[in-house]
Amino acid sequence: MDHNIYSGTADYLVSDDLRNAVNIAMALGRPLLIKGEPGTGKTMLANSIAQALGMPFIIWNIKSTTKAQEGLYVYDTVQRLYDSQFGENDVSDIKRYIKLGKLGEAFSSERQSVLLIDEVDKADLEFPNDLLWELDIMNFYIPETGETITARQRPVVVITSNAEKELPDAFLRRCIFHYISFPDEEMLASIVKVHFPELEPNLLAEAMKAFYWVRSLPGLLKKPSTSELLDWVQALVVGGIHPEKIVSEIPFLGVILKKNQDFDQVLKRIHSAGGVQRQTGWTAGKKYL
Ligand SMILES: Nc1ncnc2c1ncn2[C@@H]1O[C@H](COP(=O)(O)OP(=O)(O)O)[C@@H](O)[C@H]1O
Ligand SMILES: [Mg+2]
């Protein structure tokens, strides 16, 4: 039985539901699958769990070409061939050419670790299923050396997905699932304060208003999320922008919107209606009305 209890860290705020999901996954020894829009704190969650529990943090970034096997080990035949022709190494020692992958690293770690399998939906559909067996039994065999790598302690496995693709049912069944929904205003303001403790309250309030207005616009190709807001607040601070100008002018719009079409749509609205206030009836900055 695992007695680790997670309750967030100073730099990462968790909702009650998310905290419960983390603790249940650890207690049951199941992978925790986290879905949500990009920028909602999925990657940071795994980092925060490792920090809170004082565990080594192992990150496996998944790409479209990643294969499950690479997470276990790779046999570097090219290096071995090279050494057999030009090197002085003993090429009969195959162990030298076996490189553990991230799963292999997590299994063989002396201490229990947090293993983040980040953006699992980037890989092909077979990928999650191919990992199931090893994640279940927590060991794998290396035929080249006759070795079996067995987890000393079951790592805390966090798997994230931006929901670009649906994941296979067999995989979903084995995971504890949590969807990080976009934070409400109160939570988002708290997250900003975690990153900018000295932020002027008026600037925060105006930035939040403008941000939620942009997010509410219909037809955006990419809604801005927490990470864009954090970057934007930083830009507003560094740029010395007066809070009164934030809502009417939305300076540094390119920090929030990354798609040309979204950018143009918002610019048009700002210019044609003389600022955000007129369209939304916000009372702040009356002089712009
Ligand atoms: N709950 C939270 N508490 C503190 N910071 C957060 C939280 N959620 C998101 N962030 C911040 O937002 C940014 C994006 O988070 P990240 O984990 O990279 O998102 P994702 O992996 O979901 O795309 C990071 O700078 C992170 O610190
Ligand atoms: Mg991420």
Of 37, 47, 190, 226, best ligand 1 pocket probe by most atoms within 8 Å of the beta carbon:
226
Give the residues surrounding ligand 1 with Cβ less than 6 Å away: 12-13, 36, 38-44, 191, 194, 226-227, 230
Rounded distance from Cα 44 to ligand 1 centre (Å): 5
Nearest CA residue ID for atom 24, ligand 1: 227
Three-state secondary structure call for residue 48? helix
Q: What is the pLDDT of residues 84-102, one digit of tens each?
A: 888 877 888 888 899 999 9
Average pLDDT, stretch 11-15? 95
Rounded distance from Cα 112 to ligand 1 centre (Å): 24
pLDDT at 278 over 50: no
Rounded distance from Cα 46 to ligand 2 centre (Å): 10
pLDDT at 275 over 90: no
How much is the pTM? 0.89
Nearest CA residue ID for atom 4, ligand 1: 12
In percent, the amount of the chain with pLDDT more than 90 equals 79
Task: Give me the phi and psi of 27, to 5 degrees please.
Answer: -65, -35
Ligand at shortest distance from the CA of 39: 1
In percent, the amount of the chain with pLDDT more than 70 equals 93
What ligand 1 atom has the least distance to the C-alpha of 38? Answer: 23
Q: What is the pLDDT of residues 122-162, one digit of tens each?
A: 999 899 999 999 999 999 999 999 999 999 999 999 999 99
Average pLDDT, stretch 185-200? 96
pLDDT at 52 over 60: yes
Average per-residue pLDDT in the chain? 90
pLDDT at 281 over 60: no
Q: What is the pLDDT of residues 205-264, one digit of tens each?
A: 999 999 999 999 999 999 999 999 999 999 999 999 999 999 999 999 999 999 999 999
Q: What is the pLDDT of residue 3?
A: 64
